[in-house]
Amino acid sequence: MPDGALPVLDVKDLKTVFKTRGGEVHAVNDVSFSLKPGELLGVVGESGSGKSVTMMSLIGLLPSPPAEVRNGTVMFDGDDLLNVDAARMRDIRGGDIGFVFQDPMTSLNPVFTVGMQIAEPLRKHMGMNKKAARARAVELLELVGIPDAERRLDDYPHQFSGGMRQRVMIAIALACDPKVLIADEPTTALDVTIQAQILELMKELRTKLGMAVIWITHDLGVIAGIADRVIVMYGGQIVEHAPVADLFADPQHPYTQALLTTIPSVSGERSKRLTIIEGQPPILGAAPTLCPFRDRCNKRVEICERMMPQRYPVSGQHDAACFHADPGIPKEKAVGHAG
Amino acid sequence: MTIKTALMGAVASLAFAPMAFADGHEGERGRDGELRIIYWQAVSILNPYLSSGTKDIDASALVIEPLGRYDSSGNPVPYLATEIPTVANGGVSEDLTSITWTLQEGLVWSDGTPVTSRDVQFTWEYCTAEGGGCAQAAKFEGVTSVDIVDDLTVTVNFDGPTPNPYQPFMGGQSPIIQAAQFADCLGPRAPECTDANFAPIGTGPFVVTDFRVNDVVSFAANENYRVASQPAFATVVFKGGGDATAAGRAVMETGEFDYAWNMQLAPDVIAGMAEGGVGSPVSAFGALVERIEVNLTDPSPDLDEGIRSTAEAPHPFLTDPAVREAMSIAIDRELLVEIGYGQAGRPTCNLVPAPAIYASDNTGCLTQDIDRANALLDEAGYMDTDGDGVREMADGTPLSILYQTSTNAVRQDFQALIKEWWSEIGIETELRNIDAGVFFGGDPGSPDTFQRFYADVEMYANVFDGTDPQSYLGAYLCDKAPRPDTQWQGENINRFCDPAYDALWQELTSTGDLDERGRIGAALNDMLTKDSNVIIPLVDRGRVSAHANSLGGIELNVWDSELWNIAGWHRISE
Amino acid sequence: MIDAMFGTNFADGAQRIISFQSRSPVFDIIAERMPQTLWVVGMSYVVGVLIALPIGIISAYKQYSIFDQIGTLISMIGFSVPTFFTGVLLIVIFSTMVPLDSIFWLPSIYDTTHEVTDWESFKFQMRQMAMPVFVLALFNAAQISRYMRASMLDNLGQDYVRTARAKGMTEKIVVLKHVLRNSMIPVITVIALGVPQVFGGAIITEQVFKVNGLGQLLITAIQGSDIPMVMTLTFMFAILIVLFNLIADVLYGVLDPRIRYD
Ligand SMILES: Nc1ncnc2c1ncn2[C@@H]1O[C@H](COP(=O)(O)OP(=O)(O)OP(=O)(O)O)[C@@H](O)[C@H]1O
Ligand SMILES: [Mg+2]
């Protein structure tokens, strides 16, 4: 990991709200993180914690209305992506930043051939002609492991399996050698072997192209295998951020800790194989003023009812948004789960 | 006007045709360019023998002509014939069983060939041929043969004395067709001759140049037409379709057309359109009369069925002519016309207001006179003894009547107005209206038919077919009264019975001379109206068409095709 | 022309169907009516579609905008106000209120015998078509634009639209290529299924403007109990409806790769 290099992407205080008929949904609250060139940043968090919304906010892909990015800066290549003009944004999308969406089944246009959909960004961003784009599309399909690539270019998405579509999406995202790849659960639809291949491919591209990757997943095992750093999201906030080794070795936030125990372990006793986190995810109806996890937290302390925890540094690159990580709070004061 | 003067006039206008139009619009044939006619019913065929539609008969009137037509007063005028045959001029046999027509000399068809008596004979053969389905067969009823006397003379023989022999070859429904053109179209083959049916060769002022079924017919002036200066128009566009409103608008408001047929529209709508300033409505009146019929028998529900409303029970006070006369003169007919019919109506005191020869000069009822009506009733001894505003008979029976008619907005307006006027002369009126289907339905079992007449007075309109009122007047004979043993059929709904009337009518049936027929007809009319007020005529309902203000020569005619004199139509400077 | 469609045995004069009303061959009359029906009703359909598609697209793309609201209002009017009302309204305005010599004056009665031979006669043809075409086009456009809008809205919310944007495609390409192509599938079907109505004529509008096309032919035939004519026309419409259903199905297959008939 090229420590100390300038971040390629620097997100500060990002805040995204959905205006719905039932009121506002505060999906992303003051999220800040940065990404260095060639780095792989893992993003974990339970469903609905705001991972996808955060990433889509970065490059303005949320439909507005209902979405509204209220606050924050997203520095990329010297520009604040929240304030660039539409043309610059289009150059960045698909060119400098590739995006793999979560749902492979519906993310491809059903009426165009796969070849055409891969070639589209190539022709726009790389100025390739039809032939060159087609040749590159074959290369890309081969790269993501689709057999008989040349022939399959003329197939339509419905002729591909879910996993294959996921790989086509990855091929599209990688098409223009982006500086940043944002992959939203890109391997969920894939079997373990393909998943491994894709992960391998990511590692390779990172080193070869110096591509930085944001990898959203629920699979902590995958994170452990490929990520350099990890951010943990809960209720639209980053609750913990740490280099991957530190996170697994020394999780600070009670949520992270709970999350780690949910990993099924093959060696564990049968009864302990699956643990769950008690309680419901928070309702994001208003801007949070207190720790979003406090209702489900078994280490809740009295101050949790009064103040919002900051992201307290734990060590060099490790921080956590929990009063327990704040050196100012004596740990003995912790009370048990309210139960 | 008597028949003689009418005939003389017609002969004169033919003989001096060029002179008759010497008022600044004579000139070359075709000088006035295009004439545009719109009928809101489209033309399907140009052969009146295969269609009885007015639109088809009217359109074919531009091309094919009969031996004689009826003019706008209902008088016969010669067309292809030299004169109208009568008993007086020897054209009609003394025994009224034959009529002999003479064609004008030098007549040619539009293709240049001469018109002969064979064409006349052929026309009869064509319409009476087996399996031809002739739509005008009624015109030839009673004709036993049509004999060629010579090239220009033809005799029509009837199976008995025919006082009105002017049925075959008279009027738009019975024009002469060319034997040569239709020779192969007899009987069942008639419909197959599309070319002939769509473009008959005729003697009329125009020839067909293009025919689009149910859409538009184009005509051009007939180069062989017998009057050199006619027609004034070089071409005619005869468009069909739409509705009366649109047709009226096209003539009176937008000026796209010159003539529109049959404006069946509310009076205020027509008046509104006429304000457009480019065209005007024109009306003509036939014998369709809206009238009040008085029941001379007692419709009281207290009477037994079979007695009620029959001659056995005379009406207590409507049998008194004074009461009927008072009721008639209490009515303001001008106001009724204005409210109900506008251009399409005129007040009348006659049951047979037309044709002219039958029309009595009976105008006594035209001015409303409430005072005289009251005086009449006073004299007759009907006084309001109990002060309730209603007069009573000597025995105390109030002059209270039931007035019924069919359900129809105009008729209900009339009822309300007339009830008001009658109340001013102390007659109390109860109103009733009955669905037209029932009222005119003739169901012997229904108490609500107009024939059953379970009311004191009732109002409706009636008319006779053609120009001869003989059978129409015959409806008021004694034995024509509806009664139980006729299953309540018959049109003498008043139960009128006057031996003098019956005798006079018998005389009519054996009179051939038109003038004489006119005199008798008028006398019969007077017996029913002026003399007895058994029938109280209200409005003579006519027909309205519309023409551009720049179109001259129009004389609307209800006795023949509206386009009967189109040869003489011309452009005038407004 | 019709003979060719149904085989030439009729044109040979062999077994011709004869109209009861006019006693002439039914197909001759139909052929006579074709030009004005195609000119007026056909043109109004084309114009209607051409108006409807952009309105539908813009309304959907700018959902709830002023444009969308106005578009919705106009299509509600076009859809719910009967053509005999709009037709007469136009006649009152353009044929009676506008003076005859004005260039805005339009004829209220269609001249079926008019032939286009030169520029002047073409201009006249356009003028006499203007009102009936407008009236019918408004009605057609109202209907089709609603379909277009609904279909566009459906597709604008799809994930592949986000993918296209994420690839850096311009809004024009996103909307007019990716979304439109998908949205057109159901709309094309609706349009194709509407074509037989063109041949059926527009009975009311034809009546109002005296176009006297196939619609008027059918109605006069029904009124006159002209059974051969009614049967021929309805049979023809039936064939056209089946034919265009088939065309719609085939088009569906052509437009949507997910549906292929092998
Ligand atoms: N269009 C929208 N309108 C309203 N709320 C939305 C919308 N899209 C997302 N949200 C809300 O934003 C929150 C975050 O959603 P997001 O999709 O980012 O979750 P996630 O972390 O990606 O979950 P998953 O792991 O299931 O993908 C959720 O509470 C969701 O309900
Ligand atoms: Mg997500």
pLDDT in tens, A200-233: 877 887 887 788 999 998 888 888 888 889 999 9
Interface size between B and C, measured as CB pairs under 8 A: 101
Question: Which atom of ligand 1 is nearest to A51's Cα?
Answer: 21
Give the mean model confidence (pLDDT) for residues A112-138. Answer: 91
Quote the pLDDT of residue C4. 47
Contact state of C169 with A111 under an 8 Å Cβ cutoff: no
- Rounded to whole angstroms, how far apart are CA atoms B387 and C139? 67
Residue A236 Cα to ligand 1 middle (Å): 9
How many angstroms separate the CA of residue C250 from the nearest CA in chain A? 16
Chains that touch B (3 or more CB pairs under 8 A): C
**Higher pLDDT pick, B162 / A332:** B162
More confident residue, A17 or A289: A17
Q: What is the 3-state secondary structure (H, E, C) of chain C?
A: CHHHHHCCCCCCCCCCCECCCCCCEHHHHHHHHHHHHHHHHHHHHHHHHHHHHHHHHHHHHCCCCHHHHHHHHHHHHHHHCCHHHHHHHHHHHHHHHCCCCCCCCCCCCCCCCCCCCCHHHHHHHHHHHHHHHHHHHHHHHHHHHHHHHHHHHHHHCCHHHHHHHHCCCCHHHHHHHHHHHHHHHHHHHHHHHHHHHHHHCCHHHHHHHCCCCHHHHHHHHHHCCCHHHHHHHHHHHHHHHHHHHHHHHHHHHHHCCCCCCC
Domain ranges of chain C: 20-259
Average pLDDT in chain A: 82
User: Is C104 near chain A, with CB under 8 Å?
Assistant: no
Ligand 1 midpoint to CA A265 (Å):
29
Please give the torsion angle defined by the CA atoms of residues C63, C65, C66 and C68, in that order, rounded to the nearest 10 degrees.
-10
Q: Measure Cα distances from C175 to A127, A218, C17, C156, C158 in Å.
A: 22, 34, 52, 8, 12
Provide the b/e sequence for B109-123 (b: ≥16 CB within 10 Å): bbeeeebbbebbbbb
Residue B173 pLDDT: 87
Ligand 1 atom nearest A50 alpha carbon: 18
Ligand 1 pocket list (CB less than 6 A): A 18, 20, 25, 27, 45, 47-53, 66, 102, 284
pLDDT computed for residue A268 by the predictor: 47
H-type alpha helices, B16-108: 17-20, 54-60
Q: Which CATH superfamily is domain C20-259 in?
A: MetI-like (1.10.3720.10)
Mean pLDDT of C192-203: 82
Determine which helix (DSSP H) or strand (DSSP E) holds B386, and give its type and residue range.
none
C182 touches chain A (CB under 8 A): yes
| Weakest mean pLDDT among B19-28, B210-219, B555-564, C4-13 | C4-13
Are chains A and C in touch, 3+ Cβ pairs below 8 Å?
yes
pLDDT digits (tens, 9 = 90+) for B370-422: 999 999 999 999 998 888 889 999 888 999 999 999 988 889 999 999 999 99
Whether A46 has a pLDDT exceeding 90, the answer reads: no
Minimum-distance ligand to the CA of A281? Answer: 1
Q: Give the pLDDT confidence of B84-143 residue by residue, as tens digits.
A: 998 888 889 988 899 999 999 999 999 999 999 999 999 999 988 888 778 888 888 889
Determine which residue's CA is closest to atom 7 belonging to ligand 1: A18
Choosing among B208, B212, B254, which should be mutated to test the C contact, i.e. which has the most C CBs within 10 A?
Answer: B254
CA distance A315 to B532: 129
C168: closest chain A residue by CA: A90
Ligand in closest contact with the CA of A57: 1
Interface test with C, best of B41, B46, B213, B253 (most C CBs within 10 A): B213
Contact C169 A108 (CB under 8 A): no
Chains that touch A (3 or more CB pairs under 8 A): C
The pLDDT assigned to A274 comes to 52
Quote the pLDDT of residue B382: 92
Q: How far is the CA of A54 from the centre of ligand 1 (A)?
A: 9
Rounded to a whole number of angstroms, the CA Rg of chain B reads 26
Tens of pLDDT, residues B209-256? 999 888 899 999 999 999 988 899 999 999 988 888 888 988 998 888
pLDDT score at B4: 46
Note the pLDDT of residue A264.
Answer: 61
Q: What does the pLDDT look like over A225-278, one tens digit per residue?
A: 888 899 999 888 888 999 988 888 888 888 888 888 876 655 545 444 456 676
pLDDT-above-90 percentage for chain B: 51
Ligand 1, pocket-test mutation among A15, A21, A25, most atoms within 8 A of CB:
A25
Positive or negative torsion for Cα B477, B483, B486, B491:
positive
In the prediction, which pLDDT does B352 show? Answer: 92
Residue predicted with more confidence, A332 or B52: B52
Q: How far is CA C46 from the centre of its chain?
A: 6
Residues of A in contact with C163 (CB under 8 A): 101, 107-109, 117, 169, 172
- Interchain proximity C166–A92, CB inside 8 Å: no
- Is residue B240 a contact partner of residue B41, using CB atoms and an 8 Å limit? yes
What per-residue confidence (pLDDT) applies to B21? Answer: 42
Backbone angles phi, psi at B403, to 5 degrees: -120, 110
pLDDT at A336: 44
Predicted pLDDT at A265: 56
| Contact residues, chain C to chain B, C-beta under 8 Å | 18-19, 21-25, 29, 32-33, 88, 91, 95-96, 100, 107-109, 111-113, 206-208, 210, 212, 216-217, 220, 224
Separation of CA A15 and ligand 2 centre (Å): 17
CA of A284 to the centre of ligand 1 (A): 10
Report which DSSP code applies to B86: -
| Average pLDDT for C49-64 | 91
Average pLDDT, chain C: 85
Take atom 25 of ligand 1 and give the residue whose Cα is closest: A47
Write out the residues surrounding ion ligand 2, Cβ under 5 A.
A 52, 102
Q: Answer for the pair C116, C125: CB distance below 8 angstroms, yes or no.
A: yes
B220: part of which helix (H) or strand (E)? strand B216-221
The distance of C126 to chain B (nearest Cα, Å) reads 17
Is the pLDDT at A87 greater than 70? The verdict is yes
Q: What's the rounded mean pLDDT across residues C18-30?
A: 81
**How do residues B472-505 score in pLDDT, each as one tens digit?**
898 899 988 888 888 888 888 999 999 999 999 9
Task: Specify the pLDDT at position B377.
Answer: 94
Task: Give dist(CA C186, CA C251) in Å, integer.
Answer: 10
Both structure tokens of B27: 């000139």
Closest Cα to residue A213, out of A33, A9, A38?
A38
Which residue of A lies nearest to C179 if distances are taken between CA atoms? Answer: A109
Higher-scoring residue by pLDDT: A338, A103: A103
The residue whose CB lies within 8 Å of the most ligand 1 atoms, and thus the one to mutate among A49, A56, A185, is A49
Quote helix, strand, coil % in chain A, to nearest 5: 35, 25, 45
Please tell me the distance between residue A15's alpha carbon and the centre of ligand 1 in angstroms.
14
- Average pLDDT estimate for B183-205: 88
Contacting residues of B for C96, CB less than 8 Å apart: 249, 253-254, 276
List the single range of A172-176, A255-259, B84-88, B200-204 with lowest mean pLDDT: A255-259
Closest ligand 1 atom to residue A236 Cα is 14
Work out the percent of chain A whose per-residue pLDDT is above 90.
15
- Would you state the pLDDT for residue B2? 45
Interface touch A109/C160, C-beta < 8 Å: yes
Indicate if the pLDDT at residue B11 is higher than 80.
Answer: no
Whether residue B265 contacts residue B539, with contact meaning beta carbons closer than 8 Å, is answered with no
Looking at chain B, the whole-number percentage of residues with pLDDT higher than 70 is 95
Q: Which residues of C touch B212 (CB under 8 A)?
A: 32, 112-113, 212
Residue C166: which of A94, A103, A112 has the nearest Cβ? Answer: A94
- Strands A312-315 and B143-150, by their bridges, are unpaired
Chain C positions in Cβ-Cβ contact with residue B241 (cut-off 8 Å): 206-207, 210, 212, 216
pLDDT beyond 70 at C192:
yes
Residues of chain C neighbouring B253 (CB-CB closer than 8 A): 95-96
Q: What is the mean pLDDT of residues A61-71?
A: 85
> What's the A219 CA to ligand 1 centre distance in angstroms?
18
| Protein residue closest via CA to atom 4 of ligand 1 | A18
A112 contacts C181? CB cut-off 8 A: yes
Note whether A92 and A108 are within 8 A (CB). no
Domains and CATH numbers, chain A: 9-96+176-265+276-334 (3.40.50.300), 105-175 (no CATH)
pLDDT level of residue C262 (50, 70, 90 thresholds): low
B–A contact (≥3 CB pairs within 8 Å)? no
